Structure 1
Amino acid sequence: MSTNKSNVTPMMAQFLEIKAEHPDALLFYRMGDFYEMFFDDAVAAAEALDIALTKRGKHDGEDIPMCGVPHHAAEGYFLTLIRKGFRVAVCEQMESPAEAKKRGYKSVVKREVVRLVTPGTLTEDSLLDARRHNFLAAYAVIRDQGALAWVDISTGAFHVMPCSGAQLGPELARLTPREVIVVDGSDTHWAETVSENGATLTTLGASAFDSTSGEKRLCSLYKVGSLDAFGGFSRVEISAMSAVAEYLDITQRGNLPLLRPPVQEGQSAAMQIDGATRRSLELTQAMAGGKQGSLLHCIDRTVTAGGARLLERRLSSPSCALPVIHARLDCVEYLTKNTQLTADIRDQLRQVHDLDRALSRLALDRGGPRDMAAIRNTLGQADRLAQVIPAGLPDTLATAARDLTGHDDLLDLLDNALIAEPPLLSRDGGFIAPGYDAELDEVRKLRDEGRSVIAAMQAQFIELSGIASLKIKHNNVLGYFIETTATHAEKMLAAPLNETFIHRQTTANQVRFTTVELSEIETRILNAGGRALEIEKRLYSSLTQAIVAQSGPLGTLARSLAEFDLTAALAHLAVAENWVRPTVDDSRAFAISGGRHPVVEAALQKAGQPFIANDCGLTEAPIWLLTGPNMAGKSTFLRQNALLAILAQMGGFVPAAAAHIGIVSQIFSRVGASDDLARGRSTFMVEMVETAAILNQADDRALVILDEIGRGTATYDGLSIAWATLEHLHDVNRCRALFATHYHEMSALSNKLDGVENATVTVKEWDGDVIFLHEVKRGTADRSYGVQVARLAGLPPAVVARAKVVLEALEQGERSGGTAQKALIDDLPLFSATPAPAPVQAKESKVEARLKDVLPDELTPKDALALIYELRGMV
């Protein structure tokens, strides 16, 4: 796109000048009630939004492409563009056309970019998921030390932690930020890590990451002389936080959001779970994409947006601190024993609004009277919640209960100032309650009485003219005017009425007049309406300042409400689903009695089927070698035990009869097959990369679940890799592990390694079919039943029969030795020469034979009952 401005209109010259300042964003250029885009921006936006591409004028002899969207509907278009990877620069009119004309007839309305819309800086309700955070992150490196800072400007949450390059991927998987900032020039190094976790990569200049100027920037942001009051931050942590602050200043054009003091986190405080494990366990997102089918979706019983976000944070970051875990479990246990209190708390919380996001929108001047009403209503609801909370709560809930009250001054202010149901936008007016401001009441009285004066004046003019159909109307062009038909107008244009009625306009069917008196009343009414809006605008600003001044206590209240919501939700879940409190301690114990997979159990319940609970004991022997056929439930068993550890250390009850879990520092999962074609990795390569990560990182507090290691290569290659992997877990990592395999030869390791015990998922074979019992017991499987499972899957009978022949030959050869095995394989007839076997005829049972002699229509009720007993006896 050429930027030659020598032969363009003043308006287009202004567009090109502003666009040059934001070359990497689509410029939404405000023109009246529309945002318009030109040149390449228009072409890209029209395609992305599926809207019409038109043209407006010429530039360098060529048509200027143009498209536009309505101002009032812009949020929906922002979301579409953000999801497709665009950034949007919002350019607003900073003055009215009338003000511009005062500078000269051809003066262009002043316009400025007031905001950059990017994935990590969204605040509008319509652009966000109310139940999930929207994080913006920044990663900094100084002399081989790294740090990650992240913020949700829609809630004000701000965190920072030390983070090595190797840990960046797992931490991004935990946080799932929408946008990650790195220093300019390092984007190629981190691009793959960021994109793997679904975030957009953004670069900033090195000055944004400078720790010295960054400290000054942060001190200015929080209006403090030193950051020491918030914690002892390293230089690299300050660098990461500085980049966040700088980026917010750029995108919000100086109108910074309310950020809470930064919270310093340590990696050792939370259970470490890498991205592959999170995907495998489907913690917050299902394999198919979306929340449906994930553990988060299954256990979420929260009734507030803040509680839902807190649940996701804790599920994504289970604690490793015993005091924290025990305090959370104490709270949940207290509410499970007080079910009526739990119900009362949940009933009160259902009326609570999203305090954090309403406060953030008001601070950024993107809110409205309804956000104020939401805060007012939430303050009132918090008072009512405090009234149902008894004494004697566990410490965490007791602290939260104290923070529910103490907001009386702000509540009284908002109660007195706002009507019950205010409009969405402050510019609409009418949201200030009568009696709050004397000047506003006086102006409103004049405005409202003016309407009755107009009605009285219309009656007066009807009487004066004798024209019953005469009306006083209003439009934005003429203001107030008198309207009558052309027939009646002749009378008004003639003496003596023409001395009172002044002709203004003639239309096809109507004639319009005014009078001196009507013009005077109009001026008074219009001034009153405009004055009322000005007063309400001033009052709105003062109320916003009063609310923002209480951002600290309001933020504390929001956290308290979320704590009550999450605790009550977990208690409600535990009672409804018969979950129990786990014993969590500093041992290496892992003893589960009657454990269940929460997501699978919920799905089976909907289908009316039971879930088979199973025990798992890794205390005596920390590694279980699990064998059994496909479809028997090995993967479910592996995953469910990992989920139980996560739920327990999150601070929730678990789906089991009993559970004793020693602190798990890390969870690693290698379950399921997948490839990564984009990076040229086969299924086996992906498997080996993930296995290598586990063996190189797992410590003696880790819980590892591995399924079918080595299956993607030749049999002996795979067996040797699986064998060596298990030995390494036992001898070097010394962790707790569940190791599922089809290599039955590995069961011999239980005789060689003290910490390995065999377990199997049981099945039953009946008339050539395999019946899955889904029960885990000590011991080994005698075979994998692969051919039977293939038959259940619907393979053609000829293929199944052929597979049985080959299997028998291979097994016979294996028993006879390798040479004999090869000879047997060579002697097998070609598959094409093998006729399709006749359908297997099942042997007729005694019950079937007896039923052939029964004539149902001839049976009396007594005979039918006797027949049932007879058949039951045969079974």
Structure 2
Amino acid sequence: MLTPLMKQYNSIKEKHKDSILFFRLGDFYEMFNEDAKISSKVLGITLTSRSKEKDIPMAGVPYHSAASYIAKLVANGYKVAMCEQVSDSLGKIVKREVVKVITPGTFSDPDFLDSKSNNYIVSFCVGFNGSAISYMDLTTGSFKTKEFADPVDCLNTIRKLLPKEILVGTIKRSDILEEVVNFASKRGINIVHFQIDKDPKGYLESFFEVNSLSSFGIVDKKYSIVASASLLKYVSEIQDCSSITSISYDSQESMLVDFSSQENLNLVSGRFSLLSILDKTKSAMGARFLRRNILEPLVNIDRIEKRQKDIEFFSDNAILRGEISVALKDILDFERSFSRVLREEANIRDLNVIKKSLLASINIFDLESRYFTVSIDEVKEVFDLLESSILESNAVSIKEGGIIKPTCDKELEELHRISTEGKSFLLDLEARERERSGIKNLKIGYNKVFGYYIEVSKSNISLVPENYIRKQTIANAERYITEELKIFEEKVLTAKEKICELEFKIFNELIGKIKPYASMFYELANNISYLDFIISLSEAAISNNYVKPSIKSEGSIVLKNSRHPIVEKHCDNFIDNDINLKENEIIILTGPNMSGKSTFMKQVSLIVVMAQMGSFVPASYAEIAMVDKLFTRVGASDDISSGQSTFMVEMNEVANIINNATDKSLVILDEVGRGTSTFDGISIATAITEHLHDKIKCKTIFATHYHELNELSSRLDNVSNFRVEVKEYIDKVVFLKKISEGSADKSYGIEVARLAGLPKSILDRSKMLLKDFVKSRQSEDIFEENLEKETLSRIRDLDLNSISPVELYKFLQDIKDKL
């Protein structure tokens, strides 16, 4: 027989089967049945059972520390439905309902999010004639959409954003859906099948209270409208979306850096990444801005040069740069705090974050105003409002007082006066009662159960005045109350209660007053993020000895004394290199393993990314012809989860390059073809090179051990041979890491094995076998050469006019037998 409470629980749980239900019971959130078992395992909390229903598993967490437990469940891919007590008891049971559902893509507690990354949830749809992606960060109020003619670009954008949750709508391409599902499963990303069922355009217009979507730039973007409406409807059904005040069409053109290249080049992930080298930002917003721009290098020369000028300005003005850097340290993550204001989830800490950040912004404006497009008067208005109203406080609750300055409201000030004067009244009353009664150790105290009392030790009970009323007996004393103390208690406690109520009311009024400044806050966040980004790049340029690259719309990539921005920070005596990669040129790069081929190719790629994001670059001179897409096929790895071998993964990535590269692209290929037999590999590598040369005509660096590819330079106009220099000694080989024109004629595999630490016995045996293989190969070559000469000579001497069919047959049979 279920209790009324469990019947209520089951009724609510039935509507949220896919979520862990946090069911509020007093000061705890309780989970039951399967939810309790999952929570116990994931959270490491005790699994027990209800006393009235012994067979129902139960686990619980304190409400005041629930955020950390929710964060852990969400991080493990679970949805959490928050069921709160929404009214007082109606009869035997308190009314409860789910107030929000927290998913990986809608989790918004700043204490448990990576401050340097966005927390995206995305929605995408693929039709017969196009595709679109919409993406939202509820914590910052960002909501953007973009359409693509090729759905592969939609897929690449999803990979670049690394969302926490993906909504899948109409997908007309099963291969794209399969790719998304595989990507999500590898990354532990939640996939939800959801799409708005009718009138997506009308839904968006209704939500944003507009007559047309033209102001958002998507009125004619049918795929963007579907993806955006689906995403907004999904999120708004489970969360407060007040922080989403608009949607913008992402019209910014940027270099396409596919997911493989992001990983291969360590742009933003890994212990050592380009992000870690360039990140000198002082604010979380600046760090997020830097990360986005590393993944989205520009293709607009004017914008790149604008950033270069700004970096140059701060590089040349060290004092100003230092002063602004100090001020930027006082910029807290007000973008996320204001988003909480809009969703009415803010506490006093959020308002203090905003207040401190506004003051720091005003100070930065006074130092250098040219980077501000926001109205500084509005910034000052909001700061003055908060400065005059709120106290410095880290209180979690906004209902317990201590968050509002008493001077901001006359009634509040009077209540505080009563409360403050009460302390002196008690001291005065205690002194008077001691004198009147003659009880020297008499004292006045307070507890939550009995309120204020006069405490008298049992040895002095005979001296207690007649007007004392006994209230409580304890071990060594009696506690009393008087009419005067009772009147005081009512007055003070009423004042404290009214203070809490009034402060809560004033706090909510403050929230209402700053909400209309949403556009100002978002614009200020952009201004501060960009400034932090530029100063970070200027500091990186100075500390790492970078130079300003020259950006051209077409032509060559010319680098002198170029260095790998990541490797040089973790390597003594890094060897720099030059390159002049001309328009449509393919460089065939040969050299031993561990000689520096991969490092050099990644170095060129990273410098191009840095240059097009506006950064200075590690070289003594750099001239960069604009790149529209960057592809790298580097490293060898299999894909066990999808049953793909190393070679299959390699061929998939090469196919992506062949199908998407243009004559403005930069392609980096490392050891393509090595995952199969030698002759197959050579054939494939040769055919790929010919296709890139004849059809696509893109800039390419192709590192290979197939020395046969060097022969392509003799018949393909735009193929050049380069090698990594090696110095040979009697007993060892030294890799010089220097790139020069020409081709390598040896692989030095045994030397690489020596450097790897293989035993000397194995190395010696390898050298003997190598000599035998070379001799055998040479003998075979001599035999084949002599046989070829002999056969050709016999064919030339053959008289076709006089030979009979039988003799011709015997002649051919003899040649075949020798072969």
Q: Considering the TM-score relative to the shorter chain, is it more than 0.5?
A: yes
1:769 aligns with 2:732: yes
User: What TM-score do you get using the length of structure 1 for normalisation?
Assistant: 0.86
Q: CA 1:767–1:465 in structure 2 vs 1: closer, same or farther (change >3 Å)?
A: farther
For the Cα contact (< 8 Å) 2:588–2:701, is it kept in 1?
yes
Q: How does 1:2-13 map to 2 (within 5 A)?
A: 7-13=1-7
* Correspondence 1:31 to 2:25: yes
Superposition deviation, residue 688 in structure 1: 1.4
Which of the numbers 184, 201, 225 marks the counterpart of 1:238? Answer: 225
Deviations 1:451-507 (A, max 9, x none): 222222222332333222222222222122222333434654xxxx3x412122223
Distance in 2, Cα, partners of 1:145 & 1:484: 85
Displacement, 1:223? 2.6
Q: Is the 8 A contact 1:400 1:563 kept in 2?
A: no
Match 1:174 to one of 146, 155, 160: 160
Counterpart for residue 310 of structure 1? 289
| Equivalent in the alignment of 1:149 | 134
Say if 1:197 and 1:167 are closer, same or farther in 2 by CA, change over 3 A. farther
- Give the alignment partner of residue 60 of structure 2, picking from 64, 68, 87: 68
Q: Deviations over 1:41-74 (max 9, x none)?
A: 1011000011111111355xx5111111111211
CA deviation vs aligned residue, 1:831-856 (integer Å, no higher than 9, x gap): xxxxxxxxxxxxxxxxxxxxxxxxxx
Report the CA distance between 1:591 and its aligned residue. Answer: 1.1
Cα distance in 2 for partners of 1:531, 1:426 equals 14
Kindly indicate whether residue 96 of structure 2 is the aligned counterpart of residue 129 of structure 1.
no
Is the Cα–Cα contact under 8 Å of residues 621 and 757 in structure 1 kept in the other structure?
no
Give the corresponding residue for 1:548. Answer: 515
Q: Which amino acid aligns with 1:649?
A: Q
Q: Quote how far apart the aligned CAs of 1:404 are.
A: 4.8
Residue by residue over 1:137-188, the C-alpha shift from the partner in whole angstroms, topping out at 9 and shown as x without a partner, is 1112345532100011111111100144322331112111111112389997
Gapped regions of structure 2 (runs ≥ 5): 785-819
Q: What secondary structure, in the 3-state scheme, does the structure 2 residue paired with 1:407 have?
A: helix
* Aligned match for 2:703, one of 740, 747, 754: 740
- Paired with 2:130 and 2:51, the residues of 1 have a C-alpha distance of 55
Superposition deviation, residue 586 in structure 1: 1.1
The 1-side partners of 2:624 and 2:295 are apart by 18
Partner of 2:265: 281
Secondary structure of the residue aligned to 2:50 is: strand
Match of 1:229 in 2: 215
**8 A contact 2:587–2:719 mirrored in 1:** yes
Q: How many residues align?
A: 779
CA distance in 2, matches of 1:182, 1:154: 22
Structure 1 residues 483 and 215, CA, compared in 2 at 3 Å: closer, same or farther? farther
The letter for the 2-side match of 1:191 is V
1:112 aligns with 2:66: no
Is 1:504 aligned to residue 471 of structure 2? Answer: yes
Contact 2:267/2:295 (8 A) holds in 1: yes
The question of 1:473 aligning with 2:445 is answered: yes
Residue pair 1:403, 1:556 contacting (<8 A) in 2 also = no
**2:619 is aligned with 1:640:** no
- Tell me, yes or no, if the aligned pair for 2:243 and 2:340 is still in contact at 8 Å: no
Say yes or no: does 1:46 pair with 2:40.
yes
Aligned residues of 1:444 and 1:532 also touching (Cα < 8 A): yes
Would you say the 8 A contact 1:467–1:488 is kept in 2?
yes
Q: Structure 1 residues 143, 518: closer, same or farther in 2, change over 3 A?
A: farther
CA contact (8 A) 2:555 2:583 kept: no
Q: What do residues 764-794 of structure 1 show as CA deviations (whole Å, max 9, x unaligned)?
A: 1223212121111111112011111111211
Q: Residue in 2 aligned with 1:366? A: 345
Correspondences of 1:700-849 after superposition (within 5 Å): 700-817=663-780
* Percent of residue pairs identical: 37
Letter in 1 for 2:113: L
Where does residue 78 of structure 1 map in the other structure?
70
Deviations 1:658-698 (A, max 9, x none): 11111111111111111111111111111111112111221
1:93 alignment partner, one of 79, 85, 90: 85
The 5 A counterparts of 1:611-622 are 611-619=574-582, 622=585
**What CA distance in whole angstroms lies between the structure 1 residues aligned with 2:316 and 2:70?**
48
Q: Aligned equivalents of 2:377 and 2:551: distance in 1? A: 34
Please state how far the C-alpha of 1:738 moved relative to its aligned partner. 0.6
Per the normalisation by structure 2, the TM-score is 0.92
Map residues 391-430 of structure 1 onto 2, 5 A cutoff: 398=370, 400=372, 403-404=375-376, 406-421=378-393, 423-430=395-402
Q: Pairwise CA RMSD of aligned residues? A: 2.1
CA distance in 1, matches of 2:227, 2:195: 13
Q: Contact conserved, 1:332 with 1:567, CA < 8 A, in 2?
A: yes
Among 502, 507, 514, the alignment partner of 1:535 is: 502
Per-residue CA shift, 1:406-452, capped at 9, x if unaligned?
A: 42222221121123456454223222223211010001111221222
Give how far 1:544 is off: 0.8
3-state SS, counterpart of residue 345 of structure 1 = helix
Deviation digits for residues 730-774 of structure 1, max 9, x if unmatched? 111211011000111211111111111011111212232121211
2:810 alignment counterpart: none
Does the 8 A contact of 1:588 with 1:701 survive in 2? no
Partner SS for 2:723: strand
C-alpha contact 1:404 1:560 (8 A) present in aligned 2 = no
- The answer as to 2:235 corresponding to 1:248 is yes
Aligned partner letter, 2:194: L
In 2: Cα distance, 1:349 partner to 1:603 partner: 29
* Contact 1:592 1:660 (8 Å CA) reproduced: yes
Cα deviation per residue 1:190-231 (whole Å; 9 max; x = unaligned)?
422433455211222542xx4x2x323322332322211121
1:165/1:787 CA distance change after superposition, 3 Å: same
Which residue is 1:448 aligned to?
420
Q: Distance in 2 between matches of 1:333 and 1:564?
A: 13
1:204 is aligned to 2:183: no
Residue in 2 aligned with 1:830? none
Distance in 2 between residues matched to 1:562 and 1:206, nearest whole Å:
34
1:578 aligns with 2:545: yes
1:240 partner letter: A
Is 2:406 aligned against 1:464?
Answer: no
DSSP-derived class of the 2:94 partner: coil
* Paired residue secondary structure (1:26): strand
> What corresponds to 1:851 in structure 2?
none
